[in-house]
Structure 1
Amino acid sequence: MGISVGVLGPVELRRDEVLVPLAGAPQRVLLARLALAGGRSVPVAELIEALWEGEPPDNAMGNLHSYVSRLRRCTGGEALRREPGGYRLDLPDGAVDAERAERLAATARGQESAAAAVTLGEALALWRGDPLSDVADRMAFAPEVARLGELRRHLREEWLDRLLASGAAAEALPEIEALAVAEPLRERAQSLLMRGLHATGRTPEALAVARTYRKRIADEHGIDPSPAMAELQRRILADDPGLRVPARSGPETPVRSGLERPVRSGLERPVRSGPKTAGLIGAPTRHSPAAAGAFSRDTGAAGSSTPRVAGEDAWRPGGEGAGVVAGMAGAAGDAAGGGSRRRVDRFFGRREEIAAVRAALAGGAVTTLVGPGGVGKTRIVREMLGGGELVVELAERSVPEDVAAAVAGALGMRAAPGGGVAALAERLGSMPAVLVLDNCEHLLDAVRALAGELVARCPGLRVLATSRHRLDVAGERVLRIGPLPADDQVALFCDRAALLRADFPDDSRTRELAAEICGLVDGLPLAVELAARRESVFGLAHLRDRLGAGLNVLEPARGGDRATAVSATVEWSYRLLDPASQRMLDRLAVCRGGFGLDALPYFQEDAEPLLAELVDASLVVADPPRYRLLETVRHVGLGHLGPDGERQAREAHARWMLATAAELVDGARRRDPRTYPAMRRELPNLQEALAWLGAGDDGARMAAMLAVVGSDSPDPGLTEQLARCAPERVETESDALRAVAAGTGEWLRGHLPEADRLLTAALDRLPRDHRLRWGALLIRISNGMFAGRPEPVRQDAERMATDTHAPDWARATGICCSALMDAYGGDPAAGTRWLERYAGALDTEHLDGFVPFTRGELSAGADPEGALAWYDRSIAASDRANLIYTGHVARVARAAVLIRLGRTSEAIGACREVLAAVRAANMTAQVWTMIRLSAELLAGLGDTQTAAALVAAADGDPMAPVVMGPDRDRMAGIRTAAATAPPCGGGVAGAAELASARLTAYAEEKRTKRAAPHEG
């Protein structure tokens, strides 16, 4: 029975060449994930992640088994196999179409050009559309979608290259032209076009391609083409015979041989080679003086000047020198501020957005760019215009009648007489044309009516609108424009700041601060540019701090309008809302980090319709199931509330967060793996509510709940906030809860005596049946471990073991901590006996990884290889439950065993990675442990001076954990080996930086040695 899987298009399964229908998305996701594993076993956790993307149902394992069963019935036989920890799809070689494409590509590399072109055509024919198109929205497939998309582009370029090399330039040229249009910034595509044009006797056009490409990448990226492109241009100018391959003789083979599904550039109609492909934006075919804007001239190196009609075949946006509304708009576009007027400052990014706009315009009559004010909608349109479009700016128009009048004026008409729209439609006629309506949000009804009527009457018309709200025209394609990607934000900021300050630095610290500044203004291009203007006044660090306190620093000193001030852009959109939506927006402004639909009832009943209006108005960003206000919108909304309104909004927000915190505690008790991602998702809101609630009873309750949950998934900001909750005295239950919170924060920060004091005071005050008491007891046990106090740990572990209110995993953790104190004191056998005493309470590996971690620690001295296996089990169990703390503790222990086994290369890599991870989580005790382990590793490498300095730094810091058992002898040996080592300043941060730098140097040294050629 032959099984094959297709991923180069929608996911499909075939059995004996017969298509097998798949019941639904879960089967396609499973099949694709297994097929792309290349015959390897895929862990259950990865399959669950692919199916539910971080939010699995309660019965995820049961559902997975059900889906696998159904898929096994589709595959038949034994193709889908159960393996330890996962599943594997056992397929014959070449049964996955992506593998076949890669093999054909490898075969082509060893063939001569004509045969290789046929082979590559066969590879391209395997694509049935975009790879994994019906599951491409899943994050699990993002790398494969990108890889297969790039493979497709590479194969297409290689196929066209081989066609040119085999003498088929004339046949290949139409496809090369389509590729060059689709990939205007891809150098190989432009090089292929140059070669194809030159080979078919169109040398002036080939040289024009080189000039256009050079200008394009210089304008957009400030770089020059590669030396290879310059060399190709030189060879064309010299008429190098090697570039003119004789046309092949014999029967003509269709250039699409083996490519029944040609790769398209997003256009519906084919592009013909020859003189009628000069323009990229459709234009009229008649010649008239008024149509001058619709023609381009070939002005190659030979100085020819032959008129050519722009794009009779298809409407294709973005072309150079092309016209659109010629015959009647010709010169009017310039008079109206049309597409030929371009800003001279550099433009950054937005290539995907521009490509999406072009594709949408090619296939639809009305396209609207929707996004918040300042996001750069107008600039995107201006960058993609070719010069002959009819551009109508509506920002300064104020009444509905102005819309038709503005279009009439751009067409060169004194007015829109008689029927208004009918007159405009008669003037436009049926010829291809593009009408750009910019800034439509305040005249939506009039724009909707005009655009709908014009596209109904003018079959060749395309309308491109920019607005903060969609037009709601029939057939409208809406493209939502978001902030710039992070790299482009920083590039834009630095470019604009450098214009105002000649000595603006260009280094990593500058880019780091610029990234923080851009994040504070949401990456909106307008706000980024305004912030860059203020850099020369305040400097980077002060500008960042001022923006953190509010956006007033960006406001103009005098006046300002919605094109030049951040708050004015928001206010403009805000005034277009009805009062109920305005109130809703203002209340939501207290949310930080977004919100879900579950939050809405706390702010207003029946709020979903209002939320929909806010999303439509681009004031709320929708990424279901999450929604968020940009920081610029939040600041303006908070300014509208007033003292009473803000108090009411924050009370509603606090009620929502208190309920959320209670749900998180319940999830933590169950070790629900969704708990910690949910906490990280809502962390900004939780911290905001905690700060507002302050020292009251609700604030104390929230702080304690966040401490119990957050101890397993520490966040540096929350840790510091919890540490500030310490009460002056512990007299009431609220005092005790604040002491639990502060004690947890101090434990995470490494202030062990203070943590013990606070936690002990809290436990003395809290009732024995309090729902958070077990959490405080568990944290005190952990604190006692790092303080090296075995007897208090043992006593607390016994209390925990008999606490009926504590969850099973917490009792097991307490028992294990007591056993670990024996192991760290040098008597692992006693720890093993202690575990045997409580063996019935330790079946918790399905909940977390602390029991296997403990077994690894107990066996590390006698059986280090076995200990590594235990640590791996611990890390896997912790990762399944999203437990950062336990996972990092197991990684620390694993690094220690690698050092003592002498597996130096692995140990260096592990120490570097784990040190960075525990620093990022602000786990101070583990940071010091990793610094000591790094010292042990460096001493073994002969770097005794650095090792001794690191040990001395740990000895001198009271926050470093106590060294016990055999570790005392190891550290003592390092100290005496280099008693004169220079001190290491900077506390834990300085010691960590030193350790990391030395480990990185040794890793680089080993890499260089491996890469060096062997001498023989």
Structure 2
Amino acid sequence: MTVEVGLLGPVELRLDGRPAALTGAPQRIVLARLALAAGRVVPTGELIEALWGDEPPDNAVGNLHSYVSRLRRHTGSDAIRREPGGYRLALPPDAIDTSRVERLVAAAGGQGDEQAAGTLAEALGLWRGDPLSDVADRLAFAPEVARLAEWRRHLREECLARRVAAGRAAETLPEIEAYATAEPMRERAHLLWMRALHQTGRTAEALAVARSFRERVVDEHGVDPSPALDELQQRILAEDPALRPAVRRPRPATPDRFFGRRDEMAELRASLSANRLTTVVGPGGVGKTRLTTEALTGDELVVELAERSVPADVAAAVAGALGLRATPRGAVAAIAERLGGTPAVLVLDNCEHLLDAVRDLVDQILVRCPRVRVLATSRQRLGVAGERVLRLGPLPEQDRVALFCDRAALLRSGFPADGRSRELAAEVCRLVDGLPLAVELAARREAVFGLAHLRDRLGEGLQVLEPARGGDRATAVSATVEWSYRLLDPAAQRLLDRLAVCRGGFGLDALPYFAADAEPLLAELVDASLVVCDVDADPPRYRLLDTVRHVGLSHLESEQAASAHRPQNTTTDKTHSSDMGDKSGGEEAPSKRRGEEAPSKRRGEGGAHINAEGEKQAAPTRHGKGDAHVSAEAEAREAHARWMLDFMTAIVERQRTRNPHTTPALRRELGNLQEAITWLGERDEGARLRAWAASAWTSAPDPGLTAQLVRDAPATVESETDALRAYAAGIGVWLDSNLAEGERLLGAAIAVLPPGHPMRVSALLARIANSMFAGRIDDVRSDALALRDEPGAAPWERVTAICCAALMDAYHGNSAAGLRWLETEGRGLPRDPLDGFEPFTVGELLAASDPRAALTSYDQSLLRSERAQLVYQANIARVARAAVLIRLGRRAEAVDACARTIAAVRSAGMTAQVWTILRLTAELLADLGEAGTAAALVAAADVDPYAPAVMGPDRERLAKLRADGDHPPMDSATAADYALAALARHQQGPGKERPASSRA
């Protein structure tokens, strides 16, 4: 007996194609809830809630069992199954009409316009009326009713769009017009109507549709349509040929070294078109990432999670990929605000070790960002509602052999391509389970052993068939990595294991910290495909594949467990010390073997370290609670931390001279820096590393690092270590615009750090910036004078402090006093040719009296800041430059400058500057005749605690823009979108500048 369920209309049960008579509403409710679960178990409590809401009868469970029993009389016992905790509807996928629609939509995603239109029409034909119409009054079904109704509208629009794209605008136009008339507030319907009218030569009518829709939206909702309407209108006026139907030509054939997976590729692309969430699932090394990469177009936002180890890093990684500088309301909220209602594809690669965090993030993105689709790769499904799972298995034999032979021929020009070689290659591929990564690793050893010997060595047991320690027992790739690992020289094995603690890769400068004479060993690892080399990077960059890194870490953990059971002799074992610079097993550091000492290894009296700046530092304490034997993992992580300490010592020194290579170097090692900070914990070295990181990252920070610094804020500040932690946390909260907490932490650090301490200068400079945003002119002036006289301050730091105090005069309306201050207090201070802050300050001081000279200063500031890769400084110059253009009345330039600056500061996550440029945009829009828009932007800034204080003449300017009446509340992201839409209406097009009153 064939059982089918219909949800796209009244709830319907069909048996062998004929409707079955359901005796009452409870049976339809139970059937609908089970069918909507798509084969998942529905808990008993959820079914009871759907039946009776918050007031179930005393015998609710018994009544539910009765309703299920009656349903089973129709469907048979196999269709509705009792499971632990609930019931499950076990039917084939196509037995439910929603599943049939999903299949058709997926098929349409891979078809041309003409065929896809027919497939989508077939899908729409499965609707028999309003979805779930006979149970729609139940509150429990409200979300599903809304979702299915919206899905139907979306599919209808997509079907109409495909028909128009196929050149059938004329015959489709009546249907589009009827649909748009029935949906007067549906923007996409009207965009389709405009396109169809334009394609059929009725361009004037298409423009009239645009005007009518705009007026209706403004009148009924008080907001403007999305920028898409303006964009289409402009393209129609410009006679964009892309709006006309085009003849589609097949793409020319190109060599493709991606083997097999044709069906999986088609299924993945179809799923990306049809589903909000798609997860590619399979064992490590099966090719999930490669398949995903091949399916992408290049417009997606790709976030690699393999090197992330902390759940909180998931959202931070996405925020960082979006270019957010800080996330004062939390990373998830910032991501949702940035993505908003714009269409986007977010790719999360290697999610298996952070499933809970990824699941929570994806869940919120899907709810809060209705036009975002997510593609994930993982060894396990995420478990999010509506997730489409694509499972990858080993390559078919023909494809795996082709892959092996292709890769082997790349490494050996004489690789035979005869039938016997293919037979041997097939045997080798079977021995490594046909997993793509394992096949490629084996192919690279063919050049060493030849096919026959490679097959024999694998058959004798050199392939490790058991899973790696701590790995998934269903996974064979770790065994493949173990096999390749065992073919390495023991010294290369040790190096590989120790490099596994690196996160995000490493450069050649890291190697001496992990092994002596490591370059030849690294070459062996690259040749074995255990380390990936990017020689196009400058400098070259290396990283371990995810599975290789996992195996290396498992080796370190196993050595640690073994060392815990070794007999200890604390009186005679002198091969280890508490100094991070010493090596285990009596080995000397690499630099000593070459007859020289690395900076971090130089020692002063009492066993203290002498760093690269010649300062004495306390010797770090090893982890291990006094054990004589130090674990391999601890040794590797101590070496890694020592690398990062030396790296940051050099970075801070380079930063003092505004070296333009500082920021790129920091970005390369962000993952390693965070890993070292986590390992060092509350040790003195950890506090020092946090402080250096905070100082170096101020110009172009990362949300993940910002959050890490904030988490380590000390409760009390008594020692130098406390002060360094307080300084680092103070930088973090300042970047998050928490000015009060920033003042507390920075003040506590300054009170403890002695004069001349390198971080005291940075703390004073940070507190000056904090006080500026809070509008405290006396505090800025006091700290500026203190920093000017601070021992050890760099020239640009002294100049910056004096400039900040001068700016406060300008912002309070007394630019002349600021100029006098800069001349008097800055006299004799050396100037830095890479310092863009001084010309920015001069521009601010001249803006009121000589705006054209101010523009020249801002341009000089931008040039210097971009040359030094100082993102923050460049953006504040952009904000100031836009302000002068507005006040000079250069409207067209100002419109363009405001739009570009909003995008720049928003991309950098500079919350305070976002509000500053939005206030300036409000001033410009009021001048262009949009007083209501201007008032709404000013009102939004007035109520947001993260907007900077308003000082001096700006108070009077903004007061004139305010208007009585209620304005919709907007956060910075919404306000930015609102402003950009308004600016788009005034973008300079062909011909003369529009008049100020124009709203076209």
**TM-score if structure 1 supplies the norm length?**
0.47
Higher relative contact order, chain-length normalized (CA < 8 Å, sep 6+): 2
